[in-house]
Structure 1
Amino acid sequence: MAREYRLGVTRKAANVLVRALLARGLPITGGTGFLLTTRGRKSGVDRTTPVNVLEVDGDRWLVSPYGRVGWVHNLRADATARLWRGRRRETWEVEEADAATAGRILRVYVRKIPVTAPFFDAKLGDPADVFAAEADRHPVFRLARSRA
């Protein structure tokens, strides 16, 4: 059974540290770490959180390893993702992936960022269709068009 994501004191502290490092332009987590800013679906206020951007077969992907968290709901309401690290700023339109595509991306994501593996029922060696079966719990978005 996969672990459930909880934003406790330790994770909040880690997010503050990671956010500060990314804001200064440090390429942590192997260069995949970015800050994602979305517009709050209810409040309209900008929300920023650290994420990893995965590149697979020439496409860039946002994966929510912790489930349907706030930024997922915000992207579903407004499909605009603003990614930044240091002075580098990018604005993208996103498209949510179907289960089959998401399964393939989730499999790669867990292999590249294994710290997220406990949040999945699928195991590292499982085929993509096993990951696809839980795609509804781990939304995946393709960075579709740059809005530079």
Structure 2
Amino acid sequence: MARKYRLGVARKAVNALVKALLARGIPAAGGTGFLLTTRGRRSGTDRTTPVNVVEDGGDRWLVSPYGQVGWVHNLRADATARLWRGRRRETWEVEEADAATAGPVLRAYVRKVPVTAPFFDAKPGDPAEVFAAEADRHPVFRLARSRA
């Protein structure tokens, strides 16, 4: 049974540290870490959270290893993702992937960011189809088009 994500005091502290490092341009998580800024779906204010961007199949992907979190809802309401680390800033249109497309991406994500593996029922060595069965609990977004 996969662990449930809880945003407790310890995780908030780690997120604050990672956000500070990324804001200064210091890569986290093997260089895949970025800050994601989305527009709040209700408030309209900017919300920023650390994420990992993975490359798979020639595309770049945002994966929510912790499920239906705030930034997922925000991207569904406004499909614009602003990614940044230090002075490097990119704005992307995103497209949510279906389960068949998400399966191989989720498998690649767990292999590249192993700290998230406990939040998946599938194991890193499982086939993509096993990960595809979890796609409804781990939304995947393709960074579709850059808006420079």
Instruction: Give the TM bin, normalised by the shorter chain.
Output: over 0.9
Could you tell me which amino acid in structure 2 is paired with residue 85 of structure 1?
Answer: R
Could you tell me which amino acid in structure 1 is paired with residue 34 of structure 2?
Answer: F
TM-score with structure 1 length normalisation?
A: 0.99
Query: 1:85-131: per-residue Cα shift (whole Å, max 9, x none)?
Result: 00000000000001011011000100111110000011111100000
Whole-angstrom CA distance in 2 between matches of 1:47 and 1:136? 23
Runs of 4+ in 1 over 3 A off after TM superposition: none
> Is 1:8 paired with 2:8?
yes
Match of 2:135 in 1: 135
TM-score with structure 2 length normalisation?
A: 0.99
Whole-angstrom CA distance in 2 between matches of 1:100 and 1:41? 27
For residue 27 of structure 1, give the secondary structure of its aligned residue in structure 2. Answer: coil
List runs of 5+ in structure 1 lacking aligned partners. Answer: none
Match of 1:73 in 2: 73
Pairs aligned (count)? 148
Query: 1:43-63: per-residue Cα shift (whole Å, max 9, x none)?
Result: 001000000000112210000
Match of 2:100 in 1: 100
Deviation at 1:28, TM superposition (A): 1.4
Match of 1:25 in 2: 25
Could you tell me which amino acid in structure 2 is paired with residue 138 of structure 1?
Answer: H
Could you tell me which amino acid in structure 2 is paired with residue 86 of structure 1?
Answer: G
> Is 1:82 paired with 2:82?
yes
> Is 1:59 paired with 2:29?
no
Equivalent runs, 1:113-128 vs 2, <5 Å? 113-128=113-128
RMSD of Structure 2 on Structure 1 (CA): 0.5
